[in-house]
Structure 1
Amino acid sequence: MKNQSTRSNIDWMVVTLYIVLVVLGWLNIYSASLPLEETSIFDLSQIYGKQMLFILLSIPLIIVILSIDGKFFEKFSSVIFIAALLSLAGLFVFGKEIKGQTNWYSFGSFSLQPAEFAKFATALALSKYLGDVQVNLTMYKYQFQALGIIFLPVLLIVPHDPGSALIFSSLILVLYREGLPPWYLWTGFIAILLFISSLLFEPIYIVLVALLIVTLLYFRARPINRNIVLSSIIFVLVSAFTFSVSYVFDNVFQQHHRDRFNILLGKEVDMRGIGYNINQSKIAIGSGGWTGKGFLEGTQTKGGFVPEQHTDYIFTTVGEEWGFVGSLFVIFLFITLILRILYLAERQKTKFSRVYGYCVAAILFIHFFVNTAMVLGLFPTVGVPLPMFSYGGSGLLAFTILIFIFVKMDANKVNEW
């Protein structure tokens, strides 16, 4: 089957959405970091100047990716993954500490965050593994190996950046799409529910409710399906997990992690301390009303009331200056991009490119969901940037690579029938 030209088969909808999000992101970074004295948009001493440089660097990067043969990424996926793991391991020796986290390599005035690039590397490695015709996720052997690919980089990232490590868990959704038994997801959701419930209520009450539910499920099942041993094991595991939450919360979590959960759950209200960011974020977004105060007219933004507004809290600038309508438009763009990638993934001819497409969609979704939920006070502050919007060269370049590798796969359909 003869290859068609890449240019004629590029999905321009994905490319256009990417460009629009990058441009809108830069405008919000510009607004959130504009100094009192007017300077050039290319002023590298300013945050928006550095971001403009990264945007310009993305252009030749895109050209290079689209020029490479589509099968290159599959052939060298293992090499790319190993290189990513080595870069993460190197942080323990050569990493530079910035704001309490040693997750950067420093090169003069610029820094590189390898965890961002490890995301597309892990997506490639997982796609390569699942693309093997012999892999069957209904078997424990393949389940553990696939989960190992996902959590190997997590083990290297957690000590430096728990927020970035959270992103990799989204790839479990891809495994579910490829045949992972549903009980994995249900177990995860139940564990999260038990964890939050155990922080809000006394553990004994949670255990009694669990006993009631297990008993009801046991007697509602058909006699032939009843298993007293399995039901007892489930109850014991739930009870043990519930009673362990307080110990883990008090002895494993760091103080700032405990504070963020307490603020989220309404157990503590410290508007001048740990709750300051979330409170100012809500004020900024709420003050925008329906249509916003206008570009460069946000009083909360101009006053610098929202910390880290150009990075993790960039969405507050959208809410204040563009209002509810503008925020809804940005959300629409992200959802459209994710759904478009899912649509393209389903029409791929090989399992490798299909799985990679789902990985791209999953990573974009978890970033988008966690970041917007975080600035609205619906999720603890975990330092997850908004793709193409938040300031950061590593993030922008990594998302560019992540997305355009799939654009290349989709355009260059050299897949075997």
Structure 2
Amino acid sequence: MIFLLFLGAAVFIFDLEKFRKALIITGAVFLTILFLLYQHEKMYVLIPAASAFVLFMILEFRKRNVKIVSLIVPLIIIAASFGYAASYVFENFLQPHQQERINVWLRPEKCDPRGSLYNILQSKMAIGSGGLQGKGFLQGEMTKLDYVPEQSTDFIFTSIGEEQGFIGIVGVVILFTILLTRCVIIAERANLEFIRNYAYGVAGILFFHFMFNIGMTMGLLPVIGIPLPFISKGGSSLIAFSIMIAVLIKMDMARYRAN
């Protein structure tokens, strides 16, 4: 994954100075992934790797006004490499319980509905039972009776779907869209490249957390224990996301003082 990340970035880097910057960023991502691997969070490495890769793509596309056609070749290389490496990683790198999560995602018909498939089935049923307007705050039977495990942390979106219904789900999506849009606006109007890079990085991290959390509760993505920013229970994640946003706001405020 790190090699593919570096390859995708190096395609657009031609001078030595930019190569050094890419090397530093890749090193930082590599250390982050090593730390996650040490903590036995192998599937969580998708977040920093994907965020860094998207950051490289956005910044280079923006600065160079690269045509869409020029992005096709590196993306094809990355997709082909991932396709060849996926089976090897699945068999030799993932733990049995992590392999079971992939099977639940791709081959649910072969999984035990009372075992590994239980969480996803209950989550889908709870979200679907919410209907248009939901059952009301704290009135969801499936979440209230603990049919859905981890409903206050990783599966908090299930509680929202059952209690607030489709309207509540759309409201959450709109709120996160506004937050991501504000991050992009701050990035585009930043005077310094560092602030622009940081703002895009924050947007990428928030987007992938949001996408993976919602996707895994509906069975669209594998369950990897990703919290929903600012909504899932957990002091450490709330503090981390709050600091990240606070630093971004502080950087944006400094732009006004500089002008």
| TM-score category (smaller protein) | 0.7 to 0.9
Q: CA RMSD in A?
A: 2.2
| Aligned counterpart, 2:27 | 148
Answering whether residue 161 of structure 2 is matched by residue 300 of structure 1, we say no
Instruction: Choose which of 332, 337, 341 in structure 1 pairs with 2:183.
Output: 341
Q: Distance in 1 between matches of 2:38 and 2:75?
A: 25
TM value normalised by structure 2: 0.83
Answering whether residue 236 of structure 2 is matched by residue 356 of structure 1, we say no
Answering whether residue 91 of structure 2 is matched by residue 250 of structure 1, we say yes
The secondary structure found in structure 1 opposite 2:60 is coil
Contact 2:42 / 2:94 at 8 angstroms: preserved in 1? no
Task: Give the CA deviation at 1:332.
Answer: 0.8
Q: Distance in 1 between matches of 2:244 and 2:43?
A: 19
Describe the superposition over 1:377-396 as per-residue Cα deviations: whole angstroms up to 9, x where unpaired.
Answer: 01000011000011110000
The runs of at least 4 consecutive aligned structure 1 residues that moved more than 6 Å come to 414-417
| Aligned counterpart, 2:6 | none
The secondary structure found in structure 2 opposite 1:395 is helix
Q: Which letter does structure 2 place at the counterpart of 1:255? A: P
Q: Which letter does structure 1 place at the counterpart of 2:89? A: V
TM value normalised by structure 1: 0.53
Gaps in structure 1 of 5+ consecutive residues: 1-135, 195-240
Q: Which letter does structure 1 place at the counterpart of 2:158? A: T
Task: Give the CA deviation at 1:174.
Answer: 1.1
Distance 1:139 1:309, change over 3 A: farther
Distance 1:262 1:331, change over 3 A: same
Which residues of 2 match residues 5-404 of structure 1 at below 5 A? 137-139=13-15, 141-142=19-20, 143-160=22-39, 161-169=41-49, 170-179=51-60, 182=71, 183-192=73-82, 194=83, 241=84, 245-266=86-107, 268-404=110-246
Q: State how many pairs are aligned.
A: 233
Contact 2:130 / 2:164 at 8 angstroms: preserved in 1? yes
Contact 1:277 / 1:307 at 8 angstroms: preserved in 2? yes
The sequence identity of aligned pairs, in percent, is 41
Q: Which letter does structure 2 place at the counterpart of 1:168? A: P
| Aligned counterpart, 1:33 | none
Distance 1:274 1:322, change over 3 A: same
| Structure with bigger gyration radius | 1
Gaps in structure 2 of 5+ consecutive residues: 1-11, 62-69
Task: Give the CA deviation at 1:357.
Answer: 0.7
Q: Distance in 2 between matches of 1:137 and 1:178?
A: 11
Q: Which letter does structure 2 place at the counterpart of 1:165? A: V
Q: Distance in 1 between matches of 2:248 and 2:162?
A: 34
Contact 1:138 / 1:179 at 8 angstroms: preserved in 2? no
Q: Which letter does structure 2 place at the counterpart of 1:174? A: L
Q: Which letter does structure 2 place at the counterpart of 1:162? A: K
Distance 1:414 1:328, change over 3 A: closer
Which residues of 2 match residues 403-414 of structure 1 at below 5 A? 403-413=245-255
Task: Give the CA deviation at 1:247.
Answer: 4.0
Q: Does 356-365 or 169-178 show the bigger shift?
A: 169-178
Task: Give the CA deviation at 1:138.
Answer: 3.4
Contact 1:388 / 1:396 at 8 angstroms: preserved in 2? yes
Describe the superposition over 1:252-287 as per-residue Cα deviations: whole angstroms up to 9, x where unpaired.
Answer: 211111111112112523111111111111011011
Q: Which letter does structure 1 place at the counterpart of 2:27? A: G
